[in-house]
Structures are given as structure tokens and as C-alpha cells.
Structure 1
Amino acid sequence: AEAEYDFARQGLNSRQAFNSMHTSPWSWQLRRGPKVGSGLCATVFRMDPVRNDVGGPWNGKCPAHMAVVAKRINVNATFGAGDPFAGKRFRKAAKDACVARALAELPGAGAPPVIQIADARFEGEDLFVLMGHGGEDLGKKFIHSEKGIKMSTDPREMADALVVVYHVLSSIERLHALNVVHCDIKPGNFVVTEGTAQQFPQARMIDFDMALNFSEGSTPRRVGGTRNYLSPDIELEACPPQADIWALGVMMLELLHGKSLRRLLGRARRLDSDAVKTFAQAIQDGCPFAGHDDLEWDVHFTPGAYNSWKLLKHKRFVNGLASRLRLMIKSLLSPNRASLFKSVVRHAHSIAADAAAFARDSASSGDSSGMDWSVEPAVVQAAPGLDKTCLGAIRFQSNVWEWLSKKTLQECLELR
């Protein structure tokens, strides 16, 4: 009755209220908001509390303003129709949430930052996964907006972007240290929160549907992948760590220029393997491609910004940034990229730290007094407000969550 009254106050009729509420297993607590993403078999929506003026959903156990999204996947499986967990479609659909949950629960600061999974349930023939809202994906932020890193216009904006680059590379290094390959690296599979007056943006990888375990002497085999990010020197179905690293190189190039590789190469249609091989060789030879090798920086400084000794040292950083980023991308696309990867990540950390120091020294004392200038990704995995009490209420009597929570990382990777 309270929910119906709340909808009436918003001017919604009974049909609109029903459609808005009955779209997920949590419909009496959270209503479906705008779509924030979609894929071949899934759609992601923002989820908002049905009412936020009575202390928060789940009888006040969760915050009134929850930053969460729900992923809806059709699996054609229902409770009461045999064992839904045994079905191939369910196991394939549940893999992403299973791997993300297992990674989030790893101890220590060396685990790759991921989005926290809050719950998973069936509703009809659909699997719904509730998770923290990690922000906009990097494809939308840098490429669809055509605002690449090189278009940064002030020191803080530049630092934000270069910290994101470090977070992305570091997260894959951490994943590989666990003997796991992602196998579908692309800008759309990383999300980033906005930077604040207290913290740099935080980038996290998502979508582990194709993730696989690897070991010395074996080559993981995948099904699928995104064409523009597949390495031309690796068999199509193979996914060793070098495949992830190559995709990172292409991705870094795209984020830098704010354009897709296809557009950078001047191709109206999809890329073929010959075009990618030619591009890769050009990168190694240090040759320009399609007129997009110009990395002039558009950073605007206040008059006399370099007149103080404090800022003069950063002029060398800005002037040398283009060559440092070229070297990083060249290494990621090199035939020897696997052996170079750790040094590339250290290089990205150095660049991010230099950019952060530049932004710190350029900021006024009032603007930066509460800022954490560390470039390391946040260790805390939990989404804001989703503490143990809230999560316990959300997961109450959730059979799917109970099934997921018992899986080890290795068992999650074997779901398919």
C-alpha cells in the first residue's frame, strides 16, 4: 500500500506502476531505472529505491540512495522445473557474477578491483544479478564522446585520465598473477567512477563471461571475443596472456586518441587481419598511421604557471609525455609483450604518479586540502552503503546466491 501511495504521488497510473516495479526479484524494494548498458544476451538497468523517504529499502537496513544496477539475462530456466543450476544456459549466464564475486572476496591489496555483487536470483525465466554501480564504461567516456586522453585541458583532467590507464593495466597484471586471462579486453569492459575532490577516478574491469584459467605449457581456448581487439599473431580460438596484452595496446591507443582503431586506420568497414598486421608493424617501426600519430597536448595553463620553481619541473613531464605513451603502446603491441608487460605497468604507474604530482602542485590549497593523491586503485571492494547488514537483507533466502557463494574461483572459471 505504501508503494502504491508513493507511485500515486508521482502521478503514475496502475499499469505504469506495475511495469516500473515488477521488473526484477527486488521489485518491492527497488524499481527499474534507465538502461545503462546492453550486450548480446543481457541488459543492465540502474535500480532506484521505490521509496527513499522512510530510511531506505529493506526496512532501513540499506541506504536510501543506493548506487546499484541490475543485469538481466534470459536463461530459460525456472525453479520447479528440475534443477535450474544444472542447465548449461544457467551456468554460462552465472559465470560473470560467479567470477566477480570470487575475485572480490580475495584477501589482500593485490586482488584486481572489481564490482561488488550484491545478489542473484531467478525471476521467471531470467537470471537477475544485482551489483554496485561502477560508473560509465571507458568506451562511452573516451571513444563515443571523442574526447581522448590527449585532449585533456588542465592538469587534474590529465591526471584523472592517466590514473585510469594505470588502473586498467594494473588490474590485468593482477588478474594474470592469479593465472586468469580475461579474453575479452575492450573499453566497454571497464567502468570508471568520476573523480572527486577527495579521490581520483576508480577503474574496474567487468564481464568475465569468457575468463579462463591458464598455466605454464597450456593455452586456454575461448569461444568468441571482440574482433577489433584480437591479436593477429595468435590463433583465433587461443587466449594466452599475450591476447589480453595485445587488446590492452589497442585499447590504450583508442583511449589516447578518442577514436576506435577502425576510425584511426581510416576504414569505413570492419577491420581485416591484413590491415591489423600492417598497423602492428607500423607501430613497431615507429611510423605514423592514417595521419593520427600527432600527440600534441591541448593542456591549457594559467598565465605564468611555469614561473614558480614548484611547477617548472612539470614542464619536462608534459613535454615528454607523448614519447612515454608511445613507448608504452609499442610495448603492449610488441611480439615480446608478455615479457615486457610488468615493466609497462611500472611505467604506467610512474606516468600516473608524475601526472598526480603535477595536478597537486597546480591546485590551490583550498581545492586540494582533502584530496588523496595516491594513484593506486581503491582496495575496498564494497559498493557505497552495501555493508553486511544491507547485504544480508538483500540476500535473504536467495537460492542462487547460496549456490554462487560456495564456488571457488577455479570452479567459477570452469562454468560454461
Structure 2
Amino acid sequence: MTADPGDYPTRPEASPGTDPAAMIGRQIGVYRLESEIGRGGMATVYRATDLRLERTVALKLMSPEIARDETFRKRFAQESRVAAAIDHPHIVPVFDAGEAEGKLYIAMCYVAGQDLAALLAREAPLPLAKALRIATQVASALDAAHAHDLVHRDVKPGNILVTKGTDSDHPEHVYLTDFGLTKKSLSQTGFTRLGLVVGTMDYAAPEQIAGKPVDRRCDVYSLACVVFEMLTGAPPFRRDDDRALYYAHQYEAPPRLSEHRSGLPDGVDEVLTAALAKAPDDRYDSCLAFVTALRRAGEGPPPPPATPPEPPGWAAPVFPERTA
């Protein structure tokens, strides 16, 4: 799995009290750590071997600082069970979650492929049809999570895995990874006040940045930011520092897609503007509603009805209004 671990920054930053490199080869519960996939302030993800079933998994170990909080531990167990119960073709399955040697862990399906961030670095901007195929699969996964009362809170290219599809009509198969297992817990245990940012600022909804309650429409906003990046090569708001970026998400009008890419139907602009609305009530009610509107806009206006041919002279008595 090449995805960014999700709720922590892309740049390697050692977790407090643990040297991730020194963990290679160690066994945590029934999992032997084989190599590091990614790390950050909240967790480190490893490629590991499940010694019971002899299969490869992605094992996420929470940092000791977070794991010591008792409220977090209880919510971690509860939310892990909810995430594991979601069976969806575009969500990376959660196999197991628990504690071993004082370490909290989540074992997930190991997906061999690349994340959308790597794909965009190589191919952006994407053709509209490809962006729509990817966005539709992500939207389906998000709506399935919302049906279980889970809000992702960190939809971004690094948490979207793109693998080979089944045929020419479905050239990509997309997985969404790293649901809000820890983000909800962090926001309710005070860790966000200790400098741990919940979510990634390039894609964070205004209410999320402001610390207000969030629901599924938070993910609609973030998905719209990802779609904007797929179509232009960059997220909608680009600023030199975090403070300016926070302000832009909360108060500045989103840029028009047509200002950064020409040749798309006019309706695409309006759909993205609605999905990036500052107030959740002004956005689409679901991720699939947003993507459906985007697809329809991308198809452009329907062609005018064809004018029927003139009837031959011998048929004039049957079509008097056409020969008047």
C-alpha cells in the first residue's frame, strides 16, 4: 500500500517515544513488521505479516502519546469495530484492531498500487472522464461510511489508492483508506489542542478548520477539493503559509475552475462552486449527489431535437400542416 498514512503529514516525523525503523522485524501480537510504509506524529504504518493466516497486511501503530489517553482508547475500540463492519468494494477492509505490548494497532488489507497523489504528480491534470471515474468510486465509499455514521475528515489524494481495474470500461479500481478512526477520538479528547491537526489543510472544510461540528458534508467539500486538483493539477486554495490557507478556506470565494482549465462545459464550474460552498447547508447533501451533478454537467447540454424530414409530395394529404 503506497498511500500516505492519512491523518499525519507526508514528511517523515518520528512518533514520540518510538523509533519506527527499530521496529522492523519485531512482532506485535500476531503481526511481524516487515517494512515501513509511512509515518507521522500520530501513527506509523508498516507492511506486516499476519502469522496466523500467513498473509500480508498494512499495520497501523498509534503513537504512545495518543495511546496513553484512556478516553481515546475506548473510542478507538468502538470506532474500529464500526469501520470493520463496513463491507464496500471501494473501502480498504479493516481486519483487526486491538492492543499488544501496550501498543494500539489496526490491521488493514494491504493494497498493492499507487495513491492518487503519485498519479497526479505524474499525469495531472486528468481527463474529465478519468477524474469522474475516480471521484464516483470515492463518493460511493464515502456515502457508505456516512450510512454507518462515520465521517472521514481527511479525504485527500494520499488516502485514495488507485489500482488496475477489471476491463477497458473500468480501467481503475479505487480504494479509500484511513477513515476517521482516530480523528473523531482526537477531537473529543483534546489532542487537537496539543497541535495535532485533524485533517489536511489543502482539503479541509471551513467548519472543520473552525473546530465546529462536522457531518457528511465536510467530506463533500474535501472531495470537491480533490476533484478540483484532478482537473487542474492543484487544490483550489494555494497559499504560502497555513494561516493564509485557513483564511482562504473559511472566507474567500473558491476559484472558478474555468480560470485554470479551459474546454470543460460551463456547468462544471457551477457544480464545483456549490460543492465548495462555505456553509454546509449550501453544499450537496451527499458525495454521490455531487458527483452525479458533476457527471451531468460534464456531458454538456443535450443536443437539440432533430428536425423531421419533409414528407414526400404524395403524402401531403396526411401531413397538411407540413405542406401549408
TM-score, length of structure 2 as denominator length: 0.63
2:284 to 313, 338, 343: 338
CA spacing shift, 1:121–1:277, aligned 2, 3 Å: closer
2:292 alignment partner AA: R
Question: Conserved in 1, the CA contact under 8 Å of 2:45 and 2:61?
Answer: yes
**Which residue pairs with 1:108 in the alignment?**
none
Task: Tell me, in whole angstroms, the C-alpha distance in 2 between the residues paired with 1:233 and 1:249.
Answer: 15
CA spacing shift, 1:178–1:132, aligned 2, 3 Å: closer
**Which residue pairs with 1:206 in the alignment?**
178
**Which residue pairs with 2:28 in the alignment?**
24
1:141 to 119, 123, 137: 119
Task: Tell me, in whole angstroms, the C-alpha distance in 1 between the residues paired with 2:141 and 2:114.
Answer: 17
Task: Tell me, in whole angstroms, the C-alpha distance in 1 between the residues paired with 2:65 and 2:75.
Answer: 12
**Which residue pairs with 1:53 in the alignment?**
none
Task: Tell me, in whole angstroms, the C-alpha distance in 2 between the residues paired with 1:239 and 1:221.
Answer: 16
How much does 1:24 deviate?
Answer: 2.7
Alignment deviations for residues 322-370 of structure 1 (CA, whole Å, 9 cap, x no partner): 5454343223113521358554232356689x8xxxxxxxxxxxxxxxx
Task: Tell me, in whole angstroms, the C-alpha distance in 2 between the residues paired with 1:22 and 1:48.
Answer: 11
How much does 1:239 deviate?
Answer: 0.9
For residue 236 of structure 1, give the secondary structure of its aligned residue in structure 2.
coil
For residue 202 of structure 1, give the secondary structure of its aligned residue in structure 2.
strand
Match status 1:254 vs 2:229: yes
Question: Conserved in 1, the CA contact under 8 Å of 2:156 and 2:203?
Answer: yes
How much does 1:96 deviate?
Answer: 5.3
**Which residue pairs with 1:130 in the alignment?**
107
CA spacing shift, 1:168–1:295, aligned 2, 3 Å: farther
Within-5 A mapping of 1:268-287 = 268-270=240-242, 271-276=244-249, 279-283=252-256
How much does 1:159 deviate?
Answer: 5.1
Question: Conserved in 1, the CA contact under 8 Å of 2:64 and 2:103?
Answer: yes
**Which residue pairs with 1:244 in the alignment?**
219
The answer to which structure, 1 or 2, has the higher relative contact order (CA under 8 A, 6+ apart) is 1
Greater share of residues in strand: 2
Task: Tell me, in whole angstroms, the C-alpha distance in 2 between the residues paired with 1:100 and 1:279.
Answer: 34
Within-5 A mapping of 1:181-330 = 181-195=151-165, 197=167, 200-209=172-181, 224-232=198-206, 235-262=210-237, 265=238, 267-270=239-242, 271-276=244-249, 279-283=252-256, 288=259, 293-295=260-262, 321=264, 323=266, 325-330=268-273
**Which residue pairs with 2:83 in the alignment?**
100
Question: Conserved in 1, the CA contact under 8 Å of 2:48 and 2:59?
Answer: yes
Alignment deviations for residues 28-86 of structure 1 (CA, whole Å, 9 cap, x no partner): xx4512x222232211111258xxxxxxx64xx55xxx4521111244799xxxxx9x9
Task: Tell me, in whole angstroms, the C-alpha distance in 1 between the residues paired with 2:248 and 2:158.
Answer: 23
Within-5 A mapping of 1:61-210 = 62=54, 66-75=55-64, 87-94=70-77, 97-104=80-87, 113-134=90-111, 135-142=113-120, 145=121, 147-150=123-126, 160-195=130-165, 197=167, 200-209=172-181
Question: Conserved in 1, the CA contact under 8 Å of 2:95 and 2:108?
Answer: yes
Alignment deviations for residues 133-154 of structure 1 (CA, whole Å, 9 cap, x no partner): 2343333332xx253243x5xx
Task: Tell me, in whole angstroms, the C-alpha distance in 2 between the residues paired with 1:72 and 1:92.
Answer: 16
Question: Conserved in 1, the CA contact under 8 Å of 2:38 and 2:44?
Answer: yes
1:73 alignment partner AA: M
For residue 164 of structure 2, give the secondary structure of its aligned residue in structure 1.
coil
Task: Tell me, in whole angstroms, the C-alpha distance in 2 between the residues paired with 1:137 and 1:202.
Answer: 9
Question: Conserved in 1, the CA contact under 8 Å of 2:132 and 2:291?
Answer: no
CA spacing shift, 1:39–1:328, aligned 2, 3 Å: farther
C-alpha root-mean-square deviation of aligned residues, in Å?
Answer: 4.0
How much does 1:178 deviate?
Answer: 4.1
**Which residue pairs with 2:307 in the alignment?**
none
TM-score, length of structure 1 as denominator length: 0.51
Task: Tell me, in whole angstroms, the C-alpha distance in 2 between the residues paired with 1:257 and 1:341.
Answer: 20
Structure 1 unaligned residues grouped into runs of 5+: 1-17, 50-56, 79-83, 105-110, 153-157, 213-219, 297-320, 355-416
Question: Conserved in 2, the CA contact under 8 Å of 1:181 and 1:211?
Answer: no
- Structure 1 stretch displaced more, 248-257 or 272-281: 272-281
Task: Tell me, in whole angstroms, the C-alpha distance in 2 between the residues paired with 1:67 and 1:161.
Answer: 30
Instruction: Tell me the percent identity.
Output: 21
1:256 alignment partner AA: L
2:174 alignment partner AA: Q
CA spacing shift, 1:269–1:25, aligned 2, 3 Å: same
